[in-house]
């Protein structure tokens, strides 16, 4: 039983905007994988709810004439993973959202809900950031486009204004064309886990496949909101592909990230993960791009895309203490 005061169901975007204006304190319900849990646990007991689940126009993925990939905000994680446009152009996004919860959650959870809840651990967020995603919001004044990086205002806070709903996420052609990416998630278990750190690396290489021509590194849970490692990106954007470059990038990201101590993981573990995951995701993104890192034997190429603490004995951390 869910303690809901009033339930309003929108069938169109225009109706959803009208309901948002009429009931500004109401909670938006998309897939419900987060909201319904909060209602049932009592955190949102007695709230008004505006369901947008019935707006089919907000589902699906298509490519516009200029190559922009548009993902409707109600598109589920499972549909994103299986979509041919995503598989061909943004496979790392499909892989990232495939790490959300379990199959049932991925079948109902939506990309819009995952970004609008504003949490830094959202598995989609770091990959979307690494592809310079743009948020489309529709409100009483029409449509508003906003870089995803500017959409996050703070922990659990996003720039959704009065009367607005998020209607899509857009990936510009120049952000994915000629690029390959890789996402790594760290958790204490390999499924049904919230990320302790998530890292998505996106690269483009020169014609000889010996140097970078573009580099983007994005994190979840390395700060209060999903974030890019801007200083590191700028410093190494055109670097040669060598073992020294990989290690230097791993060290450099520590000047960009701002992890904290929490009951889920200590700060020194998060910092260690930020460094190691940047290196491993970079190596895998380069490998996907057909590049070869000078001086790196094949045995050093990471084999896992979901890390666990036993892989890092040099961090000096007791797995039992970390998972406490």
Q: Where are the domains of the chain?
A: 4-51, 56-172, 180-296
Joined together, the tokens standing for residue 100 give 């959300």
What confidence score (pLDDT) does residue 2 get?
Answer: 82
What confidence score (pLDDT) does residue 323 get?
Answer: 41
Model confidence pLDDT, tens digit, residues 164-200: 999 999 999 999 999 999 999 998 776 677 889 999 9
What confidence score (pLDDT) does residue 36 get?
Answer: 86
Closest C-alpha to 291, from 230, 201, 209 = 209
Contact 241, 290 (CB under 8 A): no
What confidence score (pLDDT) does residue 280 get?
Answer: 96
**pTM (2 decimals)?**
0.90
Could you say which residues of the chain have pLDDT below 50? 306-310, 314, 319-324
Contact 226, 126 (CB under 8 A): yes
Tell the CATH superfamily of the 180-296 domain: CO dehydrogenase flavoprotein, C-terminal domain (3.30.390.50)
Question: What is the rounded CA–CA span in Å between residue 68 and residue 65?
Answer: 7
- At the second CATH level, the architecture of 56-172 is 2-Layer Sandwich (3.30)
Model confidence pLDDT, tens digit, residues 81-97: 999 999 999 999 999 99
What confidence score (pLDDT) does residue 154 get?
Answer: 93
Closest C-alpha to 204, from 136, 282, 275 = 282
**Contacts for 119 with CB less than 8 Å, ≥ 6 apart:** 155, 156
Question: What is the rounded CA–CA span in Å between residue 297 and residue 290?
Answer: 15
What confidence score (pLDDT) does residue 269 get?
Answer: 92
Give the HSE-up count for residue 18: Cα atoms under 13 Å, Cβ half-sphere.
Answer: 8
Give the fold, CATH level 3, of 4-51: 3.30.43
Number of DSSP helices (H) and strands (E) in the chain, helices first:
14, 15
Question: What is the rounded CA–CA span in Å between residue 145 and residue 157?
Answer: 17
């Amino acid at each position: 039983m869910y303690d809901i005061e009033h339930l309003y169901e929108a069938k169109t975007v225009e109706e959803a905007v009208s309901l948002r204006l009429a009931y500004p304190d109401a909670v938006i319900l998309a897939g419900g994988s987060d909201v319904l849990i909060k209602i049932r646990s009592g955190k949102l007991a007695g709230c008004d709810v505006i369901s947008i689940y019935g707006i089919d126009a907000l589902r699906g993925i298509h490519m516009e004439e200029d190559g922009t990939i548009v993902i409707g905000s109600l598109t589920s994680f499972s549909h994103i993973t299986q979509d041919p446009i995503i598989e061909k152009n943004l496979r790392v996004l499909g892989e990232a959202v495939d790490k959300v919860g379990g199959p049932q959650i991925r079948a109902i959870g939506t990309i819009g809900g995952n970004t609008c809840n504003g949490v830094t651990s959202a598995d989609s967020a770091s990959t979307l950031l690494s592809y310079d995603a743009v948020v489309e919001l529709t409100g009483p004044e029409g449509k508003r486009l906003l870089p995803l990086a500017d959409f996050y205002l703070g922990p659990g806070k996003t720039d959704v204004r009065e009367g607005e709903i998020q209607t899509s996420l857009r990936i510009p052609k120049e952000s994915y064309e000629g690029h390959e990416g890789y996402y790594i998630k760290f958790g204490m278990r390999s499924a049904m886990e919230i990320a302790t750190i998530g890292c998505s690396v996106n690269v483009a290489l020169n014609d000889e496949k010996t140097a970078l021509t573009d580099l983007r590194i994005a994190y979840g849970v390395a700060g209060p909101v999903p974030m890019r490692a801007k200083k590191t990106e700028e410093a190494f954007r055109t670097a040669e592909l060598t073992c020294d470059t990989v290690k230097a990038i791993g060290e450099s990201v520590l000047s960009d990230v701002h992890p904290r101590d929490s009951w889920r993981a200590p700060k020194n573990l998060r910092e260690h993960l930020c460094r190691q995951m940047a290196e491993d995701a970079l190596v895998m993104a380069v490998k996907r791009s057909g590049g070869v890192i000078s001086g790196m034997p094949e045995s050093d190429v990471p084999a896992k895309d979901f890390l666990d603490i036993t892989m890092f004995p040099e961090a000096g951390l007791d797995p039992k203490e970390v998972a406490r």
